[in-house]
Structure 1
Amino acid sequence: MAEAYERFRPGYPAELYDKVTEYAGRPVRTALEIGAGTGKATRLFARPGITVTATEPDVAMLAELRKHVPAGVRTVRAAFEEIRPGRTYGLVYAAAALHWTEPEGRWSRMAALLEPDGVFASCGGPVRLADPAVAEAVRAARAPFLDSDEIPSPDGTPPGYAMQWPGTELQRSEWFTDVQQSVIERRLTMSAGDYIGHLSTISAYLVLPAARREQILDRIARILPGTVGIAADIIVHLARRRGGS
């Protein structure tokens, strides 16, 4: 699965780095990544002058990550809930990983990992078929087994609301201020095989029994054209840890 993540998950554009560092308003020297996976976002932030610590609970993911990131990146095998406070960072970020964290105590834990006025950043978003006809055919093929393959909002915020999760929780949190949401538009083209490979890394399919997952993916593969257009906008949430201890 780690190899599939690396092969089929799209990377992140330089615009994401620019948004985060512009929001910070000062040089970011230290960064902690939550749920780094194979390092798609790690390599975006691991630049000269920034010391990145990448955390990930899966040993195979970390092994794949180490193949692709600069040697100076520190790696720690740990889930978010296992990271012990002590050291603090100028930036803590999660790329398509925050929904895996436990809701209870999420933001107090996050704040404990940040310097006063440090920046939290989260990014993610659904990868959707751009052609409505193809999207409908895939929905119909999937429907007997899976209503949707998108991640539902963890706090129940409906799609289309002006502020999406986790911005909604950040706005309610006593630990954070200056919550901002923005969107980076991204359009991609994939072969049908690569799109199926991408689906195989999506949470909705990963939690299914293996035989059922293969059955659904086979049904979808049979109806896809040779290449598919993808709308994969990145929703970015930024917030600042309130000053003080």
Structure 2
Amino acid sequence: MAEAYERFRPGYPAELFDLVMGYAGQPVRCALEIGAGTGKATRLFAERGVAVTATDPDQAMLTELRRHVPANVDTVRAAFEDLRPGGTYELVYAAAALHWTSPEDRWSRMAALLQPGGVFASFGGPLRLADPAVQEAVRVARAPYLRSDEVPSPDGTPPDHELQWPGTELRRSRCFADVRQSVIERRLTMSASHFVGHLSTVSAYLELSPPEREQVFSRIERVLPETVELAADITVHLARRRAVR
């Protein structure tokens, strides 16, 4: 699975780094990443001088991550819920991973990892087929196995709501202030087989049995053109830890 994540998941653009740093308003020297996976986001920050501590509960993911990141990255095998603050960070972020964390005490735990005034960032978004006709063909091919392959909002926020999760939770939290939501528009082109490879890393498909996954991927690939255009917008949520009183 780690090899599939590395091969099929896209990385993150420099524009994302600039957005987070612009919000921070000052240089960020140390950051903690939650659910780092194979380090797609780790590279974005570490290659620009941030000392990143990348955490993930899956050792295979961290082993793959180490093959691709610079020396200023430390790794810790741990789920978010098992992290114990031994120090605090100027930035804590999660790249398409926050929905895996437990909602219980999520924001007080997050705040405990941050320096007062430190920044929390969450970013990610689904890859959606840009052509409505291709999108519908894939929906029909997938329907016997999945009604939808997108991650539902963990707090039930409707998809057309102006503020999306986790911004909704952050705004309700007493631990964070200055909650902002931004969207980085992005378009990608990839082969049909690469797109199906990407689907093999999506949680909705991972929850199917292996025979079901094989069947649904075969059905999807048959209705895809040779190459597909994707809307791959990145939704970014930023917030600042409130000062301790």
Do Structure 1 and Structure 2 share a fold, with TM-score over 0.5?
yes
Find the aligned partners of 1:144 and 1:48 in 2 and give their Cα distance. Answer: 45
Instruction: Report the counterpart of residue 121 of structure 1 in structure 2.
Output: 121
Find the aligned partners of 1:158 and 1:107 in 2 and give their Cα distance. Answer: 21
Find the aligned partners of 1:197 and 1:185 in 2 and give their Cα distance. Answer: 22
Instruction: Report the counterpart of residue 174 of structure 1 in structure 2.
Output: 174
Instruction: Report the counterpart of residue 69 of structure 1 in structure 2.
Output: 69
Per-residue Cα deviation, 1:57-80 (whole angstroms, up to 9, x for no partner): 111110100000002200000000
Find the aligned partners of 1:237 and 1:4 in 2 and give their Cα distance. Answer: 27
Instruction: Report the counterpart of residue 6 of structure 2 in structure 1.
Output: 6
What residue identity is the alignment partner of 1:79?
A
Amino-acid identity (%): 75
Per-residue Cα deviation, 1:83-142 (whole angstroms, up to 9, x for no partner): 002310000000000000001010000000000000000001111000000000000011
How many residues are aligned here?
245
**1:100-179 alignment, distance < 5 Å:** 100-179=100-179
Give the gaps of 5 or more residues in structure 2. Answer: none
Cα offset, 1:34, TM superposition: 0.3
Instruction: Report the counterpart of residue 17 of structure 1 in structure 2.
Output: 17
Cα offset, 1:208, TM superposition: 1.2
Find the aligned partners of 1:49 and 1:139 in 2 and give their Cα distance. Answer: 42
Secondary structure at the counterpart of residue 41 of structure 1: helix
Give the gaps of 5 or more residues in structure 1. Answer: none
Find the aligned partners of 1:189 and 1:22 in 2 and give their Cα distance. Answer: 29
Cα offset, 1:160, TM superposition: 1.4
CA RMSD of aligned residues (A): 0.8
Equivalent pair of 2:50/2:72 in contact (CA under 8 Å) = no
What residue identity is the alignment partner of 2:171?
Q
Tell me which stretches of 4 or more aligned residues in structure 1 moved more than 6 Å. Answer: none
What residue identity is the alignment partner of 1:163?
L
Q: Does the alignment pair 1:89 with 2:84?
A: no
Secondary structure at the counterpart of residue 84 of structure 1: coil
Find the aligned partners of 1:84 and 1:47 in 2 and give their Cα distance. Answer: 26
Cα offset, 1:48, TM superposition: 5.2
Per-residue Cα deviation, 1:159-195 (whole angstroms, up to 9, x for no partner): 0110000000000000000000000000000100000
